[in-house]
Chain A
Amino acid sequence: MATTTDRPAPTAVTERPGALRRGPRPDVGRIALYTVAVLAALLWLLPLLWSFATSIKPEGETTITPPTWFTADPTFDAYAQVLGRGDLIRWTFNSFVTTSIVTALTLIVCVPAAYGFSRFDFRGRPWLFALIIGGILIPPQTLIVPQFILMTQLGLVDTYWGIALPQVVAPVFVFILKRFFDAIPCDYEDAAKIDGAGSLRILWNVMLPLSRPILTAVGIFTFIGAWNNFLWPFLVTTDPDTMTLPVGMGTVMGGYGIQYAQVMASAVLGALPLLVVFLLFQRHIVTGVAGAGIKG
C-alpha cells in the first residue's frame, strides 16, 4: 500500500514542469531535447545535402521519379563540366575583386568618419551627423534608377568600380563604429598625446588596436553583404565577363536548362567560398553580431 502510494508521487510531480529534473526523467528530457535539436539541424542542412546529392548523380539519374537520395555510381562529372566552362571561376574572381574593393573602401572611409564624429568638434558637426544617420532609413533599392544613370555618365557600367563604388556608402557602420569609439576612455589618448602623438597616430596606434573585434565584425559583414549583393551588380553589368557570382548564376545559369546535376554542382560551388569564410571566422561572426547587433 505504502509503496503504491509512494510510486505515483514522482509522476504526479512531473506534471509540473518544475519537477523535470528529479528521478530518471531529466535524461528523457535531455534525450528529447538533443533529438529535436539534431533533427532541426538536419532539416536545416537538407537543401544543402540534397543539392550535393543531386550534383554527384549521373545526369540521367536526376530526373527519376520519385527522386532518390543515393546514386549507385556517384560521379564528379557535373563539377568537371561546370568548371570546364570557366565562367563560374571568372565570376568568383570578379566577386572576389569587387567585394575586396567594397570591404577595404568601406573600412577606409567609415573608420575615420566615425573617429571624426566621436573625437572632434567642428562646425556643422551635429547636422552632418544627422544627415548621415538619416541615410540609414533610405532603402538603397529605391535609388537604383538615378544611380544607374550616374554610372552611365561616369562610364562605369560593366566595370569593377561601377559595381563596387555605390556599395561603399554604409552610414550604419559609421553609426556603429562611432558608438564603439565613444565607449573607449580617452585616458589612452591623453597618454599618447603627452608623448607627442598627433590625431592620426592616435587613430592608428591607439583606437584601431582597441577596436579590433568591431573592425573584424564590420569587415566580415561588409564582405558577406557585398559578396551576396544582387540587385546593384545585376543592374550595372550586362557583360557576362564582368558579372559577379550571384549575378552570373542568377542570369546565365538559366541556359543550362534541365541538366540538374550541373545546376546543383554550380550551386554547391557557388556556396563554397562564403561557407569556408564562415567556418574560418565563425567565432568573429557570432561575437560580431552580439556586439554590433545588441549594442548598436
Chain B
Amino acid sequence: MSERTHTSRVQGSGAAGSGLVDVHRRPATWTGLWYVLPFLAFYLLFLVWPAIVGLGYTFTDRSLAGGPVSFIGLDNWNETFTDRALYESLWNTLVFTVLSVPVMVLLALGLALLTDHARRLGWFLRFSFFAPFVLPVAVMALMWEWMYNPSLGLFNGILGRLGFEGSEWLFSENTAMASVVIATAWWQVGFNYLLYLAAMQSIPKDVYEAAAIDGAGAWQRIGRITLPLLFRTTVLITILQLIGSLRVFEQIYLMTGGGPNFATRTVIQYIYDSGFVGLRIGLASSMAYVFMVLIIIASVAQFRLFSRKEA
C-alpha cells in the first residue's frame, strides 16, 4: 500500500502526467480549472509569490526597519556561505535530527506494540500517549522548563532523593540539546505512534492465529510477523520524522532561546534572528534559500532512496 504511495508521490512531483491517468476524467473543458482556481490563488499569493520576491531580496541590502534599498549583487550570498554561525546552527539542527529521529521512531514503535497487546487499556493508553501531541508548544515548553528547573524542578528533586547529583538540564551546553530532544519526544511521538498503531491493527488476525497454532509465542509473533509487516510504515515514519526534525524551531526557541551560548540555536532561529532581530532582510532571505534547497534535496533523496529499497 505504501509502495503505491511512494511511487505516485515521486510521479506526482516529477513527471506528473503518468501519475494522473485515471478513468474518471471527463473530456477537456474549463470546468476543472474553476474548481482549482481558489486554491491556486492562495497558493500563488502566499507561497509562490513570496518565494520569488524573497529571491529578489537576496541581492539587496533591504532592512526591515525601512530606508533606501540598493542592489548589492552577491554580497549576501558570500556572507551566507562564509558565516560560521550559520554552519553552527546547521550543525545544531543536524544534531537534533540525529538524536531525535531514532528516539521518536523506536519509542513510537514500542508504545504502539504495548498498546496493541494490552488491548483492554486501549482507550487509556491511546489518550496518554497521544494527548501531549495536541498541546500548544508554549504549554509544553512551560511544563518542561518547570520540570527541568535546576533548583526547584521535579527531575532534580527526584534525583536528589535517590542520592544523585542534579543536572543543569537546559542550562548547560552539554545537556541542553538532549533535554530538548527528550521533551520533544514526549510532545510529538504521539503522531508516529498512531501511524504505527493503525498499521498494526490492519494486520489480519488470522495471520497471528495461524502462527499461534504453529506454536509461535508472543515474542516470536512480534519478531517474525509484526515487525516485518511494519517495514514500510517504518520507512514512511522515518522519512516524515526526518523532514519534521530538520525544521525544528519553536520548542527550542521557547525553552532555551537557542542557548546556552547558542548551543541549541537551529537554522530556522538563525534566519529569524538575522531577519527579525538583526533586521537584515536580504541576508535572512539568502540563508532561508540555502536551507530550503538543503531540505528539498534531503526530502527528494530520502524518497528516492527508500522507494528504491522497497522495490
Q: Chain A: residues with CB nearer than 8 A to chain B?
A: 16-21, 29, 33-34, 36-38, 40-42, 44-45, 47-48, 50-51, 54, 62-63, 65-67, 105, 108-110, 112-113, 115-150, 165-166, 168-169, 171, 174-175, 179, 182, 186, 199, 203, 224, 227-228, 230-231, 234-235, 245-250, 253, 260, 263-264, 266-267, 270-271, 274-275, 277-279, 282, 285-287, 289-290, 293-296
Q: Chain B: residues with CB nearer than 8 A to chain A?
A: 1-2, 5, 8-9, 12-14, 16-17, 20, 22-36, 38-40, 42-43, 45-51, 53-54, 57, 111, 114-115, 117-118, 120-121, 123-139, 141-144, 146-147, 151-154, 157, 160-161, 186, 191, 194-195, 197-199, 201-202, 212, 215-220, 233, 236, 246-247, 249-250, 254, 268, 271-272, 275-276, 281, 284-285, 288-289, 291-292, 295-296, 299-300
Task: Determine the chain A residues whose CB is within 8 A of the CB of B141 once the complex forms.
Answer: 250
Task: Determine the chain B residues whose CB is within 8 A of the CB of A182 once the complex forms.
Answer: 22, 24
Contact A278 B233 (CB under 8 A): no
Task: Determine the chain A residues whose CB is within 8 A of the CB of B191 once the complex forms.
Answer: 289
Contact A16 B217 (CB under 8 A): yes
Given contacts A186-B24, A267-B143, A277-B134, contact A145 B288 (CB under 8 A): yes
Contact A143 B288 (CB under 8 A): yes
Given contacts A137-B13, A169-B42, contact A149 B47 (CB under 8 A): no
CA distance A34 to B219 in the complex (A): 16
The contact of B135 among A21, A65, A145, A274, by CB within 8 Å, is A274
Question: Of all chain B residues, which has the CB nearest A270?
Answer: B139
CA distance A168 to B13 in the complex (A): 21
Contact B288 A144 (CB under 8 A): yes
Given contacts A44-B129, A231-B268, A267-B143, contact A290 B198 (CB under 8 A): yes
CA distance A247 to B138 in the complex (A): 7
Question: Of all chain B residues, which has the CB nearest A256?
Answer: B142
Contact A65 B151 (CB under 8 A): yes
Q: Is the interface of A mostly helix, strand, loop or mixed?
A: helix
CA distance A115 to B72 in the complex (A): 46
Contact A18 B202 (CB under 8 A): no
> Which residue, B2, B20, B45, B199, has most C-beta atoms of chain A within 10 A?
B20
Contact B35 A120 (CB under 8 A): yes
The contact of B25 among A115, A119, A179, A235, by CB within 8 Å, is A119
In the assembled complex, the CB of B51 is this many whole angstroms from the nearest CB of chain A, namely 6
